[in-house]
Amino acid sequence: MAKDWCIGIIGGSGLYNIEGIEDEQWLMIDTPWGDPSDEILCGRIGHVKVRFLPRHGRGHPISPSELNSRANIDALKRAGCTDILAISAVGSLREEIEPGRFAIVEQFIDNTRHRPSTFFTSGFVTHVSMADPVCPRLSQMAAKAITACKGKVATGATYLAMEGPQFSTRAESRMYQAWGADIIGMTGVPEAKLAREAELPYALIGMSTDYDCWREGEDAVDVAQVVAQMQENSQLARETVLKFIENLPKTRSASPIDTCLDNAVITAPDEHDPALMAKLDAVAGRLLG
């Protein structure tokens, strides 16, 4: 069934605002999972409703290991989002993904350790498929938008999600390469998993800032290097978001991800936990009637 777009934009490091939003207002949205990273900038760009959330908060006060990703995704769902385009600074594990190139994520390897990664705990056990963890429709449109803005783009990237906040050791960086990872970051997981559980199609643009520390004979990555490249990337990221929204079809056709919970719940109805069900009113409200 066709409906209107409402695009959630999750801004990564260096992207704390979006230009060109009309009727804009910052709104704090309460969630049963705690506070999201910041208020959500609500408005529209042309015919498209937009909801922008700076992942680390404006001014970057929140560590990647302390992000409340459940609250962030729940808040975006409550704000009416139909889809999410996420943007994140990443390190490169491949020579051909040089600093300044954007990478469209296709797969994730989760190497995080300390983060709540599901909405569905005991009392409403649910297993969503993450075999194909991003939305191909959004990913293709994101790649086209980068190209239209004269950016360099790599597609089909595998994102290694590490715990942080420290950068990798050289041994870890080389191990991640051997695992088949192309880029490395600290925030794409559990964000992508939670978006899937909330039936929100999700795409991630990784903005390469550095080569991590796997290259022989080079200094290790440091914050100054990352910030300098991040600032160069941020304008292209803003232009890409505007082009992405500008190029959206007038109406949004249905996605299989819209109903991915239909065959995912395993807990019998008479074993549902009422307290948990109340917390799931936004994430799984479609199923709860």
Give Cα 138 distance to the centre of its chain: 12
Q: What angle do CA 221, 230, 70 make, to 5 degrees?
A: 95
β-strand partners of 51 = 8, 42
- Options 38, 74, 83, 212, the catalytic residue: 212
Answer yes or no: 23 catalytic: no
β-strand partners of 263 = none
Q: What angle do CA 280, 259, 26 make, to 5 degrees?
A: 55
* Cα–Cα distance, 219 to 215 (Å, whole number): 9
- Options 38, 182, 210, 258, the catalytic residue: 210
DSSP label of 218: S
* Cα–Cα distance, 88 to 70 (Å, whole number): 17
Q: What angle do CA 181, 184, 186 make, to 5 degrees?
A: 135
β-strand partners of 110 = 161
β-strand partners of 6 = 49
Answer yes or no: 212 catalytic: yes
Catalytic residue annotation:
210, 212
